[in-house]
């Protein structure tokens, strides 16, 4: 590639990790970002949960993802002199006989060895919850404060004069003299990482995005311990001491704002679960860049040279981001093949 810098469009979690990976390779770059108001990263818990769903299924590529994410976030902590990641266990309620049976099945599967420990009542250890359900501990989980990571990294980029705080105008991008020209600057390559707003990107809007709005409440509760616990919803302790509870899949994405309906619904669920009162401190919404086949979008545009996409992190950006940001750059700069499941050529 030429000696011109690279341009990244979007600085949510995806753009942040791409920037960090480019810096690791000493590739000069700039990022353009229009702000966090519609951004998914600012609403997320940053949970890395190895076992999900009603069948207690191990997440796709979990071991590979884990071995990439630990050093990645730890190095970012060193660079930004801030703690973002903690190793956690997730307490998960077995709230039906079907779930108990499913869990028992997994316990006997050698592929799941080490992923579960302790099952039983939590009332003595964590006396905050109504009822006496058995809970199982899920090991090898992480919680990364990706909101704070993104914001701290934004300040770092600004300080190094690498951040352009504007909306990217696709009409002003032109291919000239073997480089991409944008507002009087030439770039050797352009990486798009706009999250769900890539549906407005004329080069990549043919990809099957399925954006899903989610919301989160941040509450002050009586729970003293630094835990992540799940029954019909999650309670996960944030860096600032509040508890994150979020979720929801809303396919109508015209209104990116938090809704009273979600707040009422989640407050009802929390009241049904917690013995003591709680206080809602904040309420956020974000739109996840989900994909129909639930795999990320990586690769070069099929007809436009040096125009790349890093997107489709969906509901699992915290675990997918570190591995796949590196995977994309390995492909571009070291000619390594892309995994076919994530290569955008699967949709050509």
Interacting residue ranges for ligand FAD, rule: CB under 6 A: 9-15, 32-36, 39-41, 43-47, 167-168, 193-195, 197, 214-216, 246, 286, 288-289, 311, 313-319
- Maximum Cα–Cα distance across the chain: 70
Q: How far is the CB of 196 from ligand FAD (least distance, A)?
A: 6
Residue number with CB closer to ligand FAD (2 or 257): 257
Q: How far is the CB of 297 from ligand FAD (least distance, A)?
A: 10
Q: How far is the CB of 120 from ligand FAD (least distance, A)?
A: 26
Residue number with CB closer to ligand FAD (96 or 172): 172
228-230 and 234-237 as β-strands: parallel, antiparallel, unpaired?
Answer: antiparallel
85-93 and 135-144 as β-strands: parallel, antiparallel, unpaired?
Answer: antiparallel
Beta-carbon count within 10 A of 267 CB: 16
**Neighbour-count burial for 4-37, b at 16+ CB within 10 Å, e otherwise:** bbbbbbbbbbbbbbbbbbbeeeebebbbbbbebe
Distance CA 309, CA 176 (A): 20
Q: Where are the alpha helices (DSSP H) in 34-145?
A: 62-80, 97-107
Question: What DSSP element (H or E) covers 334?
Answer: helix 317-334
Residue number with CB closer to ligand FAD (3 or 252): 252
Chain position whose Cβ is nearest to ligand FAD: 12
> Comparing C-alpha atoms, which of 73, 42, 11, 51 is closest to residue 218?
42
Q: How far is the CB of 220 from ligand FAD (least distance, A)?
A: 19
Residue number with CB closer to ligand FAD (50 or 195): 195
Residue number with CB closer to ligand FAD (164 or 338): 164
Q: In sequence order, what DSSP letters do the residues of 144-157 get, joined into one string? A: E-HHHHHHHHHHHH
Residue number with CB closer to ligand FAD (274 or 314): 314
Residue number with CB closer to ligand FAD (106 or 321): 321
Q: How far is the CB of 203 from ligand FAD (least distance, A)?
A: 12
Q: How far is the CB of 245 from ligand FAD (least distance, A)?
A: 10
Q: How far is the CB of 209 from ligand FAD (least distance, A)?
A: 11
Token readout for 269 is 């669920």
């Amino acid at each position: 590639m030429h000696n011109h810098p690279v341009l990244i469009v979007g600085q949510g979690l995806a753009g942040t990790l791409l920037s960090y990976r480019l810096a690791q390779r000493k590739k000069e770059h700039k990022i353009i970002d229009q702000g966090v108001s519609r951004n998914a990263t600012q609403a997320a818990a940053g949970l890395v949960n190895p076992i999900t769903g009603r069948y207690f299924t191990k997440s796709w590529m979990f071991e590979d993802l884990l071995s990439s994410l630990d050093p990645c976030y730890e190095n970012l902590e060193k660079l930004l002199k801030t703690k973002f990641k903690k190793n956690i266990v997730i307490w998960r309620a077995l709230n039906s006989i079907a779930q108990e049976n499913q869990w028992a099945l997994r316990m006997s599967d050698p592929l799941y060895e080490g992923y579960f420990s302790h099952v039983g009542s939590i009332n003595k250890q964590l006396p905050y919850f109504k009822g006496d359900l058995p809970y199982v501990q899920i090991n090898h989980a992480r919680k990364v404060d990706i909101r704070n990571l993104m914001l701290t990294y934004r300040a770092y980029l600004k300080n190094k004069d690498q951040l352009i705080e504007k909306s990217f105008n696709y009409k002003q991008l032109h291919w000239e003299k073997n480089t991409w020209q944008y507002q009087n600057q030439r770039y050797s390559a352009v990486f798009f990482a706009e999250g769900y707003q890539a549906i407005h990107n004329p080069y990549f809007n043919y990809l099957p995005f399925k954006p899903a709005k989610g919301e989160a409440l941040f509450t002050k509760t009586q729970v003293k311990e630094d835990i992540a616990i799940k029954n019909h919803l999650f309670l996960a302790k944030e860096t600032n001491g509040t508890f994150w509870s979020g979720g929801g899949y809303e396919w109508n994405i015209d209104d990116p704002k938090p809704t009273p309906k979600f707040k009422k619904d989640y407050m009802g669920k929390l009241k049904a679960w917690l013995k003591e009162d709680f206080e809602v401190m904040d309420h956020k919404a974000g739109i996840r860049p989900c994909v129909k086949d639930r795999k990320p979008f990586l690769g070069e545009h099929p007809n436009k040279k040096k125009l790349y996409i890093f997107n489709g992190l969906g509901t699992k950006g915290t675990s997918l981001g570190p591995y796949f940001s590196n995977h994309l750059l390995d492909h571009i700069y070291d000619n390594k093949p892309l995994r076919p499941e994530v290569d955008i050529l699967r949709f050509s």
